[in-house]
Amino acid sequence: MATEKKMNYALRADMTKEEFIEEVTEGLLPPPQYFPLNVKLNKEGYEDIEQVLERGTRALSPKAFEAAANETGAVVLDVRNAADFAKGHIPRSIFIGLGW
């Protein structure tokens, strides 16, 4: 700590609180829009990953899938082959054909 206090520009003994704040925040950009959500998650905790994975393996009816996609603004990627996509696909889905 003694070396840090001597060498660290932001730990000068004669620095005021205001100078310290200015020194360590100069040039910082505003936080990204997702930052408040991350703070909330860090404070309240996360859902158990096993629960998330289990929920993700449950099949949805087409109607339930459409409702979930519309409610969340989900982007649906269709990775099937082009012929299958042409036969029928989810409205507003994006075809990216991975060539399976």
pLDDT at 20: 87
99 and 83 in contact (C-beta within 8 Å)? Answer: no
Distance CA 92, CA 77 (A): 9
Does residue 20 sit within a domain?
yes
- 2, part of any domain: yes
Q: Write phi, then psi, for 77 (nearest 5 degrees).
A: -100, 130
Is 53 a member of any domain? no
Q: How far, CA to CA in Å, does 81 sit from each of 30, 52, 96?
A: 43, 29, 9
Domain count, the chain: 1
Q: Can you give the residue range of the structural domain that contains 11?
A: 1-30
DSSP 3-state helix, strand, coil percentages of the chain (rounded to 5)? Answer: 55, 5, 45
Would residue 98 count as lying in a domain? no
pLDDT at residue 51, rounded to an integer: 92
**Residue 22, in any domain of the structure:** yes
Radius of gyration, alpha carbons of the chain:
25
pLDDT at residue 74 in the model: 92
- Residues of the chain with pLDDT below 50 are none
Give a yes or no: residue 1 inside a domain: yes
- Mean model confidence pLDDT for the chain: 88
In a domain, 47, yes or no: no
What pTM, to 2 d.p., does this model score? 0.42
Q: Is residue 79 part of a domain?
A: no
pLDDT of residue 100: 58
